């Protein structure tokens, strides 16, 4: 039954896809009568008359996708690298910033969650810092760090840290009193209590924070790379926009979406691993 439902949903998804592609195709059909001035302009720009309108057609996009996938890792200088290499740069930055945020947020969240005093003392800072757009940190990062690539990593760090910190603190603070009482009556030492009682108890909440963080980090890296430039999928988008190559821009958007989905999927799996039923 569930399988049949899944099949129905997949079929419907396919219908939507075909419909959207059809709509796109019709909307980008070459116009019947292009004006003479536009023809002149097109010739001047060195483009064929077939390309009447700027917006790419689905067929063009398909060809571009095939092209990129055929050779994802080529490197022909600073402004012409394969999509795989650009993605690699972005993912490496996200990984570095995200791991650094984890190393700070989870232990700190543990402390805050254990100590109501510390929680109250740090809460105003968290509340003020949390809503700041990560990109607003960019000038300060560039000024102090001076390296644009590291500044990108810093921006990822600063945007990933809050959901992880808050969720860890909340998860640790909300561990059921019963379990702590059990640990107490068994005279469990603090280290063992932290790793065998509190951490597993808070793990689902912590992982929820981590999942939110990775989502935000992936959103932010594109914007950050557009600003700092050089490498990465964000820079690729910006570069192709400057080349007025919308086909490549659309292709990059698709890639960003798919990678974001895969990252989220990965964390959803992790989340399922640590979730327990009470």
Partner 1 sequence: MSFLQVQGLKKVFPGAGGKADAVVFDDVHFGIERGEFVCIIGHSGCGKTTILNVLAGLEQPTSGLAIMDNREIAGPSLDRGVVFQGHALMPWFSVMRNIAFAVRSRWPEWHADKVRSHSQTFIDMVGLTGAEHKKPAELSGGMKQRVGIARAFAIQPKMLLLDEPFGALDALTRGTIQDELVKIVQATHQTVFMITHDVDEAILLADKILLMSNGPHAVIAEIVQNTMPRSRARHTMHHDPQYYRIRNHLVDFLVERSRLYQRGHLRDAYDPKHPPVVTPGLEPEPPPTDLAPAKRAAQVVNLRH
List of residues contacting partner 1 (CB under 8 A): 176, 178-179, 181-182, 184-188, 192, 196-197, 200-201, 203, 274, 276-278
Which CB contacts under 8 angstroms, 24+ apart, belong to 196-202? 198/110, 198/114, 198/172, 200/274, 200/276, 201/171, 201/175, 201/176, 202/113, 202/168, 202/171, 202/172, 202/174, 202/175
- Alpha carbon distance 278, 273 (integer Å): 15
Q: How far is the CB of 83 from partner 1 (least distance, A)?
A: 41
Q: Identify whether the C-beta of residue 252 lies closer than 8 Å to the C-beta of residue 240.
A: yes
The 8-class DSSP code of residue 75 comes to B
Minimum gap (Å) between residue 204 Cβ and partner 1: 10
Smallest separation (angstroms) from partner 1 to the CB of 179: 6
With beta carbons less than 8 A apart as the criterion, state whether 171 and 114 touch.
no
For partner 1, the closer of residues 98 and 110 by Cβ is: 110
Whichever of 179 and 241 has its CB closer to partner 1, that residue is 179
CB of 111 to partner 1, least distance (A): 22
Query: Which C-beta is closer to partner 1: that of 15 or that of 186?
Result: 186
CB-based contacts of 6: which residues, under 8 Å, 6+ apart? none
Residues forming beta bridges with residue 75, ordered by sequence position: 81
State the CB neighbour count (10 A cutoff) for residue 246.
16
- 42 vs 180, which CB is nearer to partner 1? 180
Q: Are 112 and 161 in contact (CB under 8 A)?
A: no
210 class by beta-carbon count within 10 Å (0-12 exposed, 13-18 middle, 19+ buried): buried
**In this complex, which beta carbon is closest to partner 1, that of residue 198 or of residue 224?**
198
Distance in Å, CB of 189 to partner 1, minimum: 9
The SS3 assignment for 203 reads helix
Instruction: Tell the smallest beta-carbon distance from residue 123 to partner 1 (Å).
Output: 23
Q: Do the beta carbons of residue 85 and residue 73 sit within 8 Å? A: yes
Q: Cβ 125 to partner 1, closest distance in Å?
A: 30
Cβ closer to partner 1: 201 or 221?
201
Q: What is the spatial distance between Cα 51 and Cα 180, in angstroms, rounded to a whole number?
A: 70
Smallest distance, Å, CB 114 to partner 1?
17
Closest to partner 1 by CB, 160 or 167: 167
Q: Of 76 and 177, which CB lies nearer to partner 1 in the complex structure? A: 177
């Amino acid at each position: 039954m569930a399988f049949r439902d899944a099949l129905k949903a997949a079929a419907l998804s396919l219908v939507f896809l075909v419909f959207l592609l059809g709509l796109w195709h019709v909307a980008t059909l070459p116009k019947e009568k292009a004006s003479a001035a536009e023809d002149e302009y097109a010739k001047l720009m060195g483009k064929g008359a077939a390309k009447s309108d700027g917006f790419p057609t689905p067929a063009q996009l398909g060809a571009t996708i095939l092209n990129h996938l055929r050779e994802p890792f080529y490197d022909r200088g600073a402004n012409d690298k394969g999509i795989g290499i650009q993605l690699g740069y972005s993912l490496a930055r996200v990984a570095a910033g995200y791991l650094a945020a984890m190393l700070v947020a989870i232990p700190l969240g543990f402390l805050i969650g254990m100590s109501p005093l510390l929680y109250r003392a740090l809460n105003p800072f968290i509340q003020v810092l949390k809503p700041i757009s990560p990109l607003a940190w960019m000038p300060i990062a560039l000024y102090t760090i001076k390296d644009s690539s590291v500044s990108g990593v810093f921006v990822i760090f600063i945007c990933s840290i809050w959901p992880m910190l808050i969720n860890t603190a909340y998860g640790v603070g909300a561990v059921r009193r019963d379990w702590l009482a059990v640990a107490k009556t068994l005279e469990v030492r603090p280290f063992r209590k932290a790793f065998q009682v509190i951490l597993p108890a808070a793990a689902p909440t912590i992982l929820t924070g981590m999942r939110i963080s990775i989502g935000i980090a992936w959103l932010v890296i594109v914007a950050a790379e557009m600003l700092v430039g050089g490498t990465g999928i964000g820079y690729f988008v910006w570069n192709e926009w400057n080349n007025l190559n919308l086909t490549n821009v659309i292709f990059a958007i698709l890639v960003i979406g798919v990678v974001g989905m895969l990252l989220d999927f990965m964390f959803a799996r992790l989340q399922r691993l640590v979730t327990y039923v009470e």
